[in-house]
Amino acid sequence: MVSFDAATPGTPERVWAATPHLRDRPRVLLDRYDALVVIAAHPDDEVLGAGLLMTEAAARGMPVSVIVVTDGAASSPEQDLAHTRRLETTEAVAMLAPRANVEFLGFPDGATREHRAEIAGELRHVLRDAGPRTILAAPWRGDGHRDHRVIGEIMAEVAGENTLLEYPIWMWHWAHPDRTRLPWDRLEELPGDGSVKRRALGVFRSQTSGPEPLLRPEMLQHFDRDVEVFFSSDRWLGAEYFGALYDRRSDPWRYETRWYEQRKRALTVASLPRPRYRRALEIGCSTGALTQELAARCDEIVAVDLDPRAVERVRARRLEGVSAVCADALEGLPEGPFDLIVLSEVGYYWGGSGTARIAREARAIASDDAHLLACHWRRPVEQREGAAEAVHDVLRRSGWRTIVEHREPDVVLDVFGISGASVAQEEGIA
């Protein structure tokens, strides 16, 4: 655990404001969720780390619940501090989300490790009715404060199928963007109007006033932003999930038999801006139905899938110029260059951070004239980590320029390029 002193000068906010690590991050898309539960280790953590998140959720009509684990009484020798901090938190949360429910578990401040089992039991009870479309926010496990670490670890254990966002607080004080190893690839942002949060933070007078305040002005500057950032739980569906699907059916998504899939493949191939490609990478090739049609337009294809049975199905097709590889794309992409990269029905299994990683690595192995084609099902399916539009938004924000856009109620299909040149521009007629 990181050791730090809140009374010593930390990293100035101007340093964080200048770092590129905090720019153009994948977005937290609240439209995917029906409710928000914020877990705080101490009173005021919920506003510092997730005040804007609460404001935005409330504005969308989402039910908001706040669970404060400890009484926060160890931050000062003030008599009856626990009662004061409860009143402050209740007032501040009401400013952010007027209809929010606030619950105080009352565990002793600084003793979360000693009460870990009891806290885990309480949080499991609190979350027992949380539906799959409830988003959870909790302290980041790497924040350097022991209570934050313990509560973050417990939440990672009890979150189940729910999306978990972890908010940093003390990281802004002790870390440095250029000298500290941080999981930047898991960072997501939520922009918005931070004015209400700024007013709410003014409520915590027990922490911001007096001769030795815990939250000093230079610390509060880190939260005077119109954006909040979170570390995603980085939970994606991997080999075990897909293996179970192939155990039940050799063609889990009926790629070979459904007219919807046949038509979608025709749309996919017809959307390619170029008549022929030198070398293509297809991530998530499944049984090879799309691979076979792409092979007619490519000299060479590297087709990748997690499941060995899917890879064997592709190999059994004996397609000229096609090599099928059993691998997890999130562990690294094949060596380039590729002038065509295809992501068909795969991005939403990775979550925002995984998609952002693939987008960056795809750019690194792409040729100067490469295209990236993405095609995804738009209807909701609970097991999928990110909505189709969220996947395409991540790709667009990672530097790929849109060339082709196609939207239907069922499917979204985009083709991105390095230069952004249209078909007519490439042919010299526009």
Please report whether residue 135 resides in a domain: yes
What CATH number is attached to the domain comprising 193?
3.40.50.10320
User: Looking at the structure, do residues 226 and 311 belong to the same domain, yes or no?
Assistant: no
Residue 235 predicted with pLDDT over 60: no
Q: Identify the pLDDT of residue 19.
A: 95
Cβ atoms 231, 29 nearer than 8 A:
no
Q: What's the CA gap between 146 and 46, in Å, rounded?
A: 16
Question: Is residue 386 very low, low, confident or very high in pLDDT (cuts 50, 70, 90)?
Answer: low
For residue 80, the tally of other CB atoms under 10 A from its CB is 8
- In-domain check, residue 6: no
Beta bridge partners of 406: 413
Q: Which of 188, 216, 232 is the last residue of a domain?
A: 232
Report the share of the chain in percent with pLDDT over 90: 68
pLDDT (average), residues 290-295: 97
58 vs 397 pLDDT, higher one: 58
C-alpha angle with apex 301: 379 to 284, nearest 5 degrees? 30
pLDDT tens digits for 78-115? 668 999 999 999 999 999 999 999 999 999 999 999 99
Q: Are 107 and 70 in contact (CB under 8 A)?
A: yes
Q: Are 135 and 30 in contact (CB under 8 A)?
A: yes
Q: If residue 358 lies in a helix (H) or strand (E), which one and from where to where? A: helix 351-365
Report the pLDDT averaged over residues 406-428: 92
| pLDDT band (50, 70, 90) for residue 353 | low
* pLDDT tens digit sequence for 308-326: 999 999 999 999 999 999 9
**Which residues are CB-neighbours of 59 under 8 A, at least 6 positions away?**
none
pLDDT of residue 385 exceeding 70 = no
Q: Kindly state the average pLDDT of the residues 195-217.
A: 91
8 found inside a domain: no
> Percentage of residues in the chain with pLDDT exceeding 70?
94
Count of structural domains, the chain: 2
Rg over alpha carbons for the chain, rounded to the nearest Å, is 24
Q: Does the residue 153 lie in any domain?
A: yes
Instruction: Give domain status of residue 118, yes or no.
Output: yes
C-alpha–C-alpha distance, residues 20 and 187, integer Å: 12
On whether both 227 and 249 belong to a single domain, the answer is no
Q: Are residues 269 and 183 in the same domain?
A: no
Q: What pTM value is reported for the model? A: 0.63
Residue 116 to residue 139: CA distance in whole angstroms: 15
pLDDT, one tens digit per residue, over 326-345 is 999 988 899 989 999 999 99
132 cis-preceded (ω within 30 degrees of 0): no
The better pLDDT of the pair 73, 12 is held by 12
Q: How far apart are CA 348 and CA 10, in angstroms?
A: 38
Do 153 and 96 belong together in one domain?
Answer: yes
Reported as type and span, the H/E element at residue 260 is helix 259-270
Residues 192 and 261 in one domain: no
Write the DSSP assignment of 133-186 as a string of letters.
TEEEEEE-TTSS-HHHHHHHHHHHHH-TTSEEEEE-STHHHH--TTTS---GGG
Mean pLDDT score of the chain, rounded to an integer?
Answer: 90
Name the β-bridge partners of 300: 279
For the ranges 39-43, 153-157, 266-270, the lowest mean pLDDT is seen at 153-157
Which residues have a Cβ under 8 Å from the Cβ of 55 and sit 6 or more positions away? 96, 97, 192, 193, 196, 197
Instruction: Judge if 325 and 250 occupy the same domain.
Output: yes
Task: Give domain status of residue 3, yes or no.
Answer: no
258 and 179 in one domain? no
Closest CA to 191 of 376, 52, 18: 52
80 belongs to a structural domain? yes
Report the half-sphere exposure of 95 (CA within 13 A, side-chain side). 20
Q: Are residues 297 and 391 in the same domain?
A: yes
Q: Identify the pLDDT of residue 27.
A: 85
192 and 273 in one domain?
A: no
Structural domain containing residue 398: 239-427
pLDDT score for 87: 96
Rounded to an integer, the average pLDDT of 157-170 is: 87
Query: Are 207 and 252 contained in the same domain?
Result: no
Q: Which of 232, 267, 301 represents a domain boundary (last residue)? A: 232
Enter the tokens of residue 48: 């510092």
Cα–Cα dist 348/336, whole Å: 24
Cα–Cα distance for residue pair 246/253, rounded to 1 Å: 10
- Residues 79 and 162 placed together within one structural domain of the fold: yes
Q: What is the pLDDT of residue 381?
A: 61
**pLDDT above 90: residue 407:** yes
Task: Please tell me the distance from the alpha carbon of residue 314 to that of residue 285, in angstroms, as a whole number.
Answer: 8
My answer on whether 74 and 208 are in the same domain is: yes
Domain boundary among 172, 201, 232: 232
Average pLDDT over residues 128-155: 91
Among 168, 145, 184, 147, residue whose Cα is nearest residue 228: 168
The candidate with the shortest Cα–Cα distance to 397, out of 25, 19, 28, 29, is 25
CATH number (domain holding residue 395): 3.40.50.150
CA–CA separation, 35 and 249 (whole Å): 34
Residue 89 lies in a domain: yes
Please state the φ and ψ torsions of residue 123, each to the nearest 5 degrees.
Answer: -70, -35
Is the four-CA dihedral 394, 274, 425, 408 of positive or negative sign?
Answer: negative
| pLDDT score of 76 | 61
The whole-number pLDDT of residue 77 equals 65
